[in-house]
């Protein structure tokens, strides 16, 4: 436990160091601090996982009271997830930031980064409601400062402010929910609040949980509360996007897990609601992702999809608890937690690889890229592997967590009652469709960006990034492959918090997913890998004498290899777009061709988020119209503004002395 | 192991039988059953030629495709004899492994930068998206019916004493019919794609592999055979009672495979290809038809008092 305090102290020293050191040394200091306190956090977390939860009481004065710091298994697991991505993010950012020539904004950036690490770790361990909200707020502000690094760009600032406002709606909901529960329980200690909820499981109102869930869902990006996410991710520098998508939105998931004991009473119905909501989130996220032109925006929508998959596991866990079926609950929670870890790995890696592409080509618009693999082979590989993992293909880690969620759903399907079976079947269908859509999306993203021939002239210095920038990415890749090939220890890791959650729900004797099953999975993965190696070596032996001749590819009369006739991202998903058009909002401008030899024309498509349009934009317009009614008040004449002030003061005075005035008038009338 | 050997054995003749049926119905003399094998063997002997715009993905994709198909074939059991890879919910692994191979074939097609191959890749990705849920739904329904969770467990207990034979055969009949159509779509055969067409604009699978040659092309051509016989093997498992002896089972298995091949040949002889626009609807209809299996299972399970 003390290790966590040491890590906070280290971060504090780091912040001071970053502020006083000369400009060129600042990022070194930041990286060192992040790694150092990361290691301290890891040690603390693993100790807590191994020897059970530890706690430390800090007695503060008003308003906090006693602040308990506890590392239980859930907090420990999330500390591990957070610190892995924070370290790789900082390490990658160390090289990524070279592309910005101006160094003046660096101090704020690196200090925010250090604050982010400390505040996220603190959110995990703070078990006092007020202190939790306090750290949550620091995290939000630090993240805002990181996102708006390029604040001179209007787009970035808009995205940042959008994020800031929506984060505060989230905070507002959290405050409401926490005041409610701590008022009912008569304590600010989370453990006592949860115990109170468990003790009064029959009478507790479901509303605090729903309010808190909604608040955390803002952070996590559940549809329809996701609208800040696709703006903020592309605006931030690549390593910040990686960290944001990898772990910051996972804090929402952490929060939901943290307040899960508040969900008492009809758990099955709540689980069902979350499951259906999450399936819809996953489907919507990936459906919109496919039509995006900006690679980072595409990845941002994929984060929404993956949050949906995590939410499915969570909903399944609750449903399993409600049904009294431990296998469903265990597999669901394990799937959700493992997918949290997996997504933080492959999504951050996808963002890093995209960042490398941006560094060299200065664009992330998919239609302008192409053939990058010939210039940046390692970056291409570092994009391909997580792309396979996010699609859920074996033998990588995405498959393992999706497999756990599938197994939970199939177990529910075969052992539940008719309504449960129907819902499970629909959700299996949903998850398969999500997988298929992600397949379409990532064949597009990888195929168009990295393969074929360049669609627009690339900068001359387009080459692989420096080797050291590849190191953190390769480290993440190793973890991805490791979890995919040897899932057993990782599943055991996530089963500790998962069984803690289930035990809390008073269901004893639940076994974690069997080790034998995990070994079979890893065996199957290894067979697949060996078979691939075998086939590649057979091909090498049999066809080693491949012809030196390199003819142009087939282009049916034209020879291929011209970007003009190459398939584009839009044309690759054109059939899909037309099928899915009722659910999407794709605006296209077609040129009108006239005459026998038409002039050159151009064709634009632009995808917009339909949910955002209906829920956010239209309501903002309505609000704007309402406010316009009062527009006459703001006429720019200073006399009027003074008049408003006078009227206001008079009104206040009149209101304060209303009784005196009233009695005066009455007496006056009576006299009269 | 037995199932793997039988799948390989069946794959050797599958496309040959289709070709033979097609030539017979057309009244031609036609090539013999082994002709596709000779074509494949000839291709396997040749060195591949790679186009100037292609990269590493294009070179490794056919091998990964073949590896994924073989791994998928290892998952298939033979009646109650489990496949080499067999665990709970192994059909999830089976489908995703097939998807891995397909992923590489699609990005390999995009690697050429050729407009036609991009077109084929786009269609293949979309159609496999619509096709994917079918097997999940069918196997989920059977898991519900039998209470088992792996290929081997499901096939072993499907024709057991717990389920009335009429019900088992009705359900597996519907499922087999759907799987036949699935297999034909997955292999880009007639109502969806015409393997004999010579116009790139109307192709799906063939247009993706226009630039593959030599050893790679041989592997891809053999891949079609083995994919057909994987689907045939699932169908055979659904239909044949698992209690029968190995020799008889093997004969019945090969007979079902031959029947599937003849069916494909007849469909190809008498049907024309759909308009490309209508393909998604057709494929989604097949997928939706899997709900029939689920409803039938619900019915049977309801009668058995399980629900």
B202 has a chain A CB within 8 A of its CB:
no
- Mean pLDDT across the stretch B86-99? 92
Q: Which of A399, A403, A516, A555 to mutate to test the interface with B (most CBs of B within 10 A)?
A: A555
At residue A584, the pLDDT reads: 86
Rounded to whole angstroms, how far apart are CA atoms B227 and B138?
Answer: 18
Q: How would you class B127 by CB atoms within 10 Å of its CB: exposed for 0-12, middle for 13-18, buried for 19 or more? A: buried
**Beta strands of A79-211 (E only): which ranges?**
none
At residue B304, the pLDDT reads: 58
B280 has a chain A CB within 8 A of its CB:
yes
At residue A141, the pLDDT reads: 95
In the block, which residue shows the tokens 């469709």?
A433
B114 has a chain A CB within 8 A of its CB:
yes
At residue B298, the pLDDT reads: 84
B222 has a chain A CB within 8 A of its CB:
no
pTM: 0.93
Look at residue B148 and give its three-state secondary structure.
coil
Kindly tell me if the per-residue pLDDT of A627 is higher than 70: yes
Rounded to whole angstroms, how far apart are CA atoms A421 and A424?
Answer: 5
Chain B residues whose beta carbon lies within 8 Å of the beta carbon of residue A547:
47-50
Kindly tell me if the per-residue pLDDT of A326 is higher than 90: no
A526 has a chain B CB within 8 A of its CB:
no
Contact A394 B93 (CB under 8 A): yes
Q: What residue of B is the nearest CA neighbor of A549?
A: B49
pLDDT digits (tens, 9 = 90+) for A538-569: 988 886 666 677 788 877 666 655 777 888 88
Residues contacting A166, CB < 8 A, separation 6+: A218, A225, A227, A228
At residue A87, the pLDDT reads: 95
A552 has a chain B CB within 8 A of its CB:
yes
Do B183 and B175 touch, CB atoms closer than 8 A? no
Confidence of residue A254 (pLDDT cuts 50, 70, 90): very high
At residue A21, the pLDDT reads: 87
What are residue A54's DSSP bridge partners? A71
What are residue A588's DSSP bridge partners? A605
A398 has a chain B CB within 8 A of its CB:
no
Confidence of residue B307 (pLDDT cuts 50, 70, 90): very low
pLDDT digits (tens, 9 = 90+) for A172-205: 999 999 999 999 888 888 999 998 988 888 888 8
Pairing of strands A54-59, A585-589: unpaired
Rounded to whole angstroms, how far apart are CA atoms A586 and A290?
Answer: 11
At residue B37, the pLDDT reads: 92
What are residue A70's DSSP bridge partners? A55
Phi-psi map region of A238: left, alpha, beta (phi>0 left; psi -120 to 50 alpha): alpha
A489 has a chain B CB within 8 A of its CB:
no
Kindly tell me if the per-residue pLDDT of B71 is higher than 90: yes
Do A222 and A255 touch, CB atoms closer than 8 A? no
Q: How many residues does chain B have?
A: 307
Interface of A with B in 446-465 (CB under 8 A): 446-448, 451-453
Look at residue A526 and give its three-state secondary structure.
helix
A-to-B residue pairs, Cβ atoms closer than 8 angstroms: 259
Contact A388 B66 (CB under 8 A): no
> What ipTM does the predicted assembly reach?
0.94
Q: Pinpoint the alpha helices (H) of B195-213.
A: 205-208
Chain A residues whose beta carbon lies within 8 Å of the beta carbon of residue B116:
554-556, 560
Confidence of residue B262 (pLDDT cuts 50, 70, 90): very high
| A107-116, A157-166, A259-268, A380-389: segment of lowest average pLDDT | A259-268
Kindly tell me if the per-residue pLDDT of B102 is higher than 90: yes
Nearest to B60 by CA among B239, B291, B215: B215
Nearest to B104 by CA among B58, B150, B136: B58
Confidence of residue B197 (pLDDT cuts 50, 70, 90): confident
Interface of B with A in 225-254 (CB under 8 A): none
Chain A residues whose beta carbon lies within 8 Å of the beta carbon of residue B202:
none
| A70-84, A475-489, A572-586: segment of lowest average pLDDT | A572-586
Interface of B with A in 60-99 (CB under 8 A): 60, 62-64, 66-68, 70-71, 74-75, 84-90, 92-93, 96-97, 99
Residues contacting A132, CB < 8 A, separation 6+: A123, A126, A178, A190
Q: Give the distance from CA A627 to its chain's centroid.
A: 34
What are residue A68's DSSP bridge partners? A57
Three-class HEC string of A273-301: HHHHHHHHHHHHHHHHHHCCCEHHHHHHH
Q: Give the distance from CA A63 to its chain's centroid.
A: 32
Q: What residue of A is the nearest CA neighbor of B147?
A: A414
Contact B143 A410 (CB under 8 A): yes
- Mean pLDDT across the stretch A107-135? 93
A383 has a chain B CB within 8 A of its CB:
no
Residues of chain B above pLDDT 70, percent: 98
Chain B residues whose beta carbon lies within 8 Å of the beta carbon of residue A451:
55, 57, 107, 110-111, 113
pLDDT digits (tens, 9 = 90+) for B198-247: 777 778 888 888 888 889 999 999 999 999 999 999 999 998 888 778 88
Rounded to whole angstroms, how far apart are CA atoms A602 and B159?
Answer: 62
At residue A139, the pLDDT reads: 95
pLDDT digits (tens, 9 = 90+) for A379-425: 999 999 999 999 999 889 999 999 999 999 999 988 868 888 889 99
Q: How many residues does chain A have?
A: 672
Kindly tell me if the per-residue pLDDT of A671 is higher than 70: no
Chain B residues whose beta carbon lies within 8 Å of the beta carbon of residue A410:
89, 140, 143, 149
DSSP string across A402-432: HHHHHHHHHHHHHHS-HHHHHHHHHHHHHHH
Do A247 and A290 touch, CB atoms closer than 8 A? no
Contact B137 A428 (CB under 8 A): yes
- Mean pLDDT across the stretch B268-278? 85
Look at residue A189 and give its three-state secondary structure.
strand
- Each residue of A114-149: b (16+ CB within 10 Å) or e? bbbbbbbbbbbbbbbbbbbbbbbbbbbbbbbbbbbb
At residue A507, the pLDDT reads: 64
Contact A571 B93 (CB under 8 A): no
A528 has a chain B CB within 8 A of its CB:
yes
Q: Which of B53, B202, B226, B295 to mutate to test the interface with A (most CBs of A within 10 A)?
A: B53
Look at residue A604 and give its three-state secondary structure.
strand
B153 has a chain A CB within 8 A of its CB:
no
For residue B119 the two structure tokens come to 């077109």
In the block, which residue shows the tokens 């866990």?
A317
- Mean pLDDT across the stretch A323-338? 91
Rounded to whole angstroms, how far apart are CA atoms A11 and A37?
Answer: 7
Q: Measuring CA to CA, how many Å separate A671 from each of A253, A377, A657, A658, B108?
A: 70, 97, 21, 19, 99
Q: Which of A397, A403, A544, A554 to mutate to test the interface with B (most CBs of B within 10 A)?
A: A554
At residue A480, the pLDDT reads: 95
Q: Pinpoint the alpha helices (H) of chain B.
A: 2-25, 35-45, 56-75, 90-111, 115-131, 133-146, 151-158, 165-186, 205-208, 214-239, 246-270, 279-303
Average pLDDT score over chain A:
89
Rounded to whole angstroms, how far apart are CA atoms B154 and B88?
Answer: 10
Rounded to whole angstroms, how far apart are CA atoms B272 and B232?
Answer: 23
At residue A62, the pLDDT reads: 74
Q: What residue of B is the nearest CA neighbor of A377?
A: B56
Contact A425 B121 (CB under 8 A): no
In the block, which residue shows the tokens 């020879």?
A559
Contact A554 B113 (CB under 8 A): no
Q: What is the rounded (10 degree) CA torsion for A334, A337, A338, A342? A: 160
- Mean pLDDT across the stretch A103-124? 91
pLDDT digits (tens, 9 = 90+) for B12-29: 999 999 999 999 999 988
B9 has a chain A CB within 8 A of its CB:
no
Kindly tell me if the per-residue pLDDT of B257 is higher than 80: yes
pLDDT digits (tens, 9 = 90+) for A138-167: 999 999 999 999 888 899 999 999 999 999
Q: What residue of B is the nearest CA neighbor of A438?
A: B129
Nearest to A527 among B62, B85, B144 (CB): B85
Pairing of strands A585-589, A604-608: antiparallel
Q: What residue of B is the nearest CA neighbor of A574?
A: B122
In the block, which residue shows the tokens 């060129």?
A24
Confidence of residue A376 (pLDDT cuts 50, 70, 90): very high
More confident residue, A622 or A588: A622
Do A285 and A235 touch, CB atoms closer than 8 A? no
- A268, containing H or E segment: helix A267-290
Look at residue A387 and give its three-state secondary structure.
helix
Look at residue B32 and give its three-state secondary structure.
coil
At residue B306, the pLDDT reads: 52
């Amino acid at each position: 436990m003390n290790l966590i305090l040491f890590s906070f102290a280290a971060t504090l020293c780091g912040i001071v160091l970053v502020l006083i050191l000369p400009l060129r040394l600042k990022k070194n200091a930041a990286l060192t601090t992040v790694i150092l306190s990361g290691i301290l956090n890891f040690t603390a977390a693993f100790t807590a996982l191994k020897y059970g939860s530890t706690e430390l009481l800090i007695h503060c004065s008003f308003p906090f009271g006693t602040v308990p710091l506890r590392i239980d298994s859930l907090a420990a697991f999330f500390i591990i997830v957070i610190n892995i991505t924070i370290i790789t993010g900082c390490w990658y950012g160390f090289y990524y930031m070279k592309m910005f020539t101006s160094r003046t904004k660096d101090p704020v950036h690196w200090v925010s980064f250090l604050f982010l690490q400390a505040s996220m770790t603190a959110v995990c361990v703070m078990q006092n409601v007020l202190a939790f909200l306090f750290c949550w707020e620091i995290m939000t502000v630090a993240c805002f400062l990181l996102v708006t690094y390029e604040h001179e760009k209007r787009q970035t600032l808009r995205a940042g402010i959008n994020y800031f406002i929506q984060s505060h709606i989230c905070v507002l909901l959290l405050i409401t929910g926490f005041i409610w529960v701590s008022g009912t329980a008569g304590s600010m200690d989370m453990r006592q609040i949860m115990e109170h909820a468990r003790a009064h499981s029959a009478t507790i109102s479901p509303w605090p949980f729903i309010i808190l869930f909604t608040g955390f869902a803002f952070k996590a990006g559940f549809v329809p509360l996701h609208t800040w996410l696709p703006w903020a991710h592309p605006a931030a520098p690549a390593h910040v996007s990686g960290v944001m998508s990898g772990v910051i939105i996972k804090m929402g998931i952490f929060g939901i897990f943290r307040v899960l004991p508040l969900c008492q009473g009809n758990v099955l119905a709540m689980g069902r609601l979350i499951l259906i909501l999450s399936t819809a989130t996953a489907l919507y996220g990936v459906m919109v992702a496919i039509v995006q032109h900006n690679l980072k925006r595409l990845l941002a929508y994929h984060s929404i999809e993956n949050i949906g998959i995590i939410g499915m596991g969570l909903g399944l866990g609750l449903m399993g608890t409600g049904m009294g079926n431990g296998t469903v609950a265990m597999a669901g929670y394990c799937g959700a937690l493992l997918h949290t870890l997996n997504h933080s790995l492959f999504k951050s890696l996808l963002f890093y690889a995209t960042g490398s592409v941006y560094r060299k080509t200065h664009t992330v618009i998919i239609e302008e890229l192409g053939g990058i693999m010939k210039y940046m082979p390692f970056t291409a590989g570092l994009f391909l592997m997580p792309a396979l993992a996010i699609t859920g293909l074996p033998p990588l880690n995405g498959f393992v967590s999706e497999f756990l969620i599938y197994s939970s759903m199939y177990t529910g399907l075969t052992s539940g009652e008719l309504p449960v079976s129907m819902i499970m079947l629909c959700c299996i269908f949903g998850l398969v469709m999500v997988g298929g859509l992600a397949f379409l999306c990532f064949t597009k993203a990888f195929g168009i960006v990295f393969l074929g021939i360049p669609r627009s002239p690339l900068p001359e210095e387009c080459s692989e990034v420096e080797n050291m920038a590849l190191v953190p990415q390769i480290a993440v890749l190793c973890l991805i492959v490791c979890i995919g090939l040897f899932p057993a220890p990782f599943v055991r890791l996530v089963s500790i918090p998962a069984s803690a959650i289930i035990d809390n729900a008073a269901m004893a004797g639940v076994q974690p997913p069997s080790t034998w099953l995990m070994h079979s999975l890893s065996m199957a993965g290894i067979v697949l890998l060996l078979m691939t190696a075998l086939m590649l070596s057979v091909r090498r032996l049999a066809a080693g004498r491949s012809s030196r001749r390199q003819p142009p590819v087939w282009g049916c009369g034209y020879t291929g290899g011209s970007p003009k006739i190459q398939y584009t991202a839009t044309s690759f998903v054109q059939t899909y777009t037309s099928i899915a058009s009722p659910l999407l909002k794709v605006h296209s401008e077609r040129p009108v061709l006239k005459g026998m030899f038409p002039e050159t024309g151009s064709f634009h498509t632009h995808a917009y988020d339909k949910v955002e349009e209906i829920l956010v934009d239209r309501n903002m317009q309505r609000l704007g119209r309402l406010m316009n009614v009062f527009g006459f008040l703001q006429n720019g004449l200073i006399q009027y503004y003074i008049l408003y002030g006078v009227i206001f003061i008079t009104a206040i005075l009149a209101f304060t002395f209303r009784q005196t005035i009233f009695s005066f008038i009455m007496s006056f009338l009576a006299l009269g | 192991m037995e199932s793997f050997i039988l799948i390989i054995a069946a794959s050797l003749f599958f496309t040959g039988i289709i070709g033979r049926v097609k030539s017979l119905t057309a009244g031609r003399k036609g090539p013999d059953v082994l002709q596709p094998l000779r074509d494949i063997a000839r291709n396997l002997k040749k060195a591949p030629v790679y186009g100037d715009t292609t990269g590493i993905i294009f070179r490794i994709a056919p091998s990964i495709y073949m590896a994924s198909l073989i791994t998928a074939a290892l998952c298939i059991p033979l009646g109650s004899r489990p496949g080499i890879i067999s665990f709970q919910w192994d059909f999830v692994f089976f489908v995703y492994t097939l998807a891995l191979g397909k992923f590489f074939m699609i990005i390999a097609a995009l690697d050429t930068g050729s407009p036609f191959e991009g077109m084929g890749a786009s269609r293949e990705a979309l159609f496999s998206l619509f096709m994917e849920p079918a097997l999940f739904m069918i196997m989920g329904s059977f898991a519900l019916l039998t209470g088992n969770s792996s290929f081997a467990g499901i096939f072993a207990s499907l024709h057991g004493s717990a389920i009335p034979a009429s019900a088992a055969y009705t359900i597996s009949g519907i499922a087999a019919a759907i799987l036949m159509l699935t297999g034909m779509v997955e292999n880009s055969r007639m109502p969806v794609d015409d393997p004999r067409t010579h116009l790139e604009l109307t192709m799906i699978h063939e247009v993706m592999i226009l630039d593959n040659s030599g050893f790679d092309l041989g592997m891809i051509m053999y891949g079609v055979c083995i994919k057909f016989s994987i689907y045939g093997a699932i169908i055979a498992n659904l239909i044949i009672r698992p209690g029968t002896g190995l020799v008889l089972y093997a004969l019945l298995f090969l007979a079902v495979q031959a029947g599937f091949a003849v069916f494909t040949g007849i469909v190809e002889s008498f049907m024309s290809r759909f308009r490309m626009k209508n393909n998604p609807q057709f494929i989604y209809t097949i997928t939706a038809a899997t709900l029939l299996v689920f409803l039938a299972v619900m019915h049977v399970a309801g009668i058995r008092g399980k629900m």
